[in-house]
């Protein structure tokens, strides 16, 4: 597959088909992230996979699903088939290092793109309740939840659209239920070619 096409198709997914993931899928995604580039090659990110139905339900309940769709969550039949929780070591001051933040972004994007090559959609979450997740999923000492990713087979159409004249970047669903994500034009983001 052409990489540009992959980037356009591997959109964030919030509604999934009622279908379990193939055995080993989450483990394979972690393995893909494991061999990614890493800031200073420190390789500080750690992962927990969540596929057991009761644990999935606990993670689902702790997530903020769509900032622009107030009080919206997928229906039960549209929920993800699994999650990967990305952990970062917490420093003495309780914060995550700058290099860890870089690695988290690389890992998340790597897993989202890798998943799509197998027909699996993904959604990255920074909106979550870590206490609620920690009550159901044991988080190893010295680590904190830094990112949560949902995975499942896609049941919604997603499309990139131009930013409208009013400049709004808010994603929305059109009258056919297509999830539309406004993206700025190349000439708006490319500030120079020297």
Interhelix angle 25-34/98-116, nearest 10 degrees = 130
In this prediction, residue 95 carries a pLDDT of 67
171 and 83: one domain?
A: no
Number of domains in the chain: 2
In this prediction, residue 161 carries a pLDDT of 95
Tell me the C-alpha to C-alpha distance, in Å, between residue 137 and each of 39, 76, 82, 133, 194: 28, 21, 13, 6, 50
127-150: pLDDT as tens digits: 999 999 999 999 999 999 999 999
135 and 163: one domain?
A: no
CATH of the domain at 164: 2.20.180.10
148 and 161: one domain?
A: no
Secondary structure element (H or E) that encloses residue 103, with its range: helix 98-116
30 and 122: one domain?
A: yes
In this prediction, residue 56 carries a pLDDT of 97
91 and 142: one domain?
A: yes
Please report the beta strands in the chain, taking only residues with DSSP state E, as ranges in sequence order.
46-50, 82-89, 120-125, 143-153, 158-162, 172-173, 179-183
91 and 174: one domain?
A: no
Residue 48 near residue 133, CB atoms below 8 Å: no
Domain that holds residue 164: 157-194
190 and 168: one domain?
A: yes
112 and 184: one domain?
A: no
CATH of the domain at 70: 3.40.109.10
Residue 183 near residue 160, CB atoms below 8 Å: yes
Q: Which residues of the chain have pLDDT under 50?
A: none
151 and 193: one domain?
A: no
Residue 93 DSSP one-character state: T
124 and 73: one domain?
A: yes
169 and 192: one domain?
A: yes
21 and 81: one domain?
A: yes
In this prediction, residue 19 carries a pLDDT of 96
């Amino acid at each position: 597959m052409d990489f540009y096409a992959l980037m356009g198709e591997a959109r964030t997914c919030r509604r999934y088909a009622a279908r379990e993931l193939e055995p080993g899928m989450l483990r394979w995604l972690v393995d893909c992230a494991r061999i990614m580039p890493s800031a200073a090659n420190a390789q500080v990110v750690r992962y927990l996979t969540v596929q057991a139905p009761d644990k999935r339900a606990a993670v689902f309940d702790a997530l903020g699903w769509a900032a622009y769709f107030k009080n919206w969550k997928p229906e039960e039949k549209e929920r993800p088939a699994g999650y990967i929780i990305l952990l970062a070591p917490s420093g003495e001051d309780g914060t995550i290092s700058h290099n860890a933040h870089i690695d988290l972004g690389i890992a998340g994007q790597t897993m989202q793109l890798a998943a799509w090559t197998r027909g699996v959609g993904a959604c990255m979450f920074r909106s979550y309740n870590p206490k609620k997740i920690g009550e159901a999923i044991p988080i190893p000492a010295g680590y904190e939840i830094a990112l949560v990713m949902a995975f499942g087979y896609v049941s919604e159409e997603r499309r990139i659209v131009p930013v409208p004249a009013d400049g709004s970047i808010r994603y929305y669903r059109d009258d056919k239920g297509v999830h539309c994500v406004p993206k700025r034009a190349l000439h708006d983001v490319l500030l120079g070619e020297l």
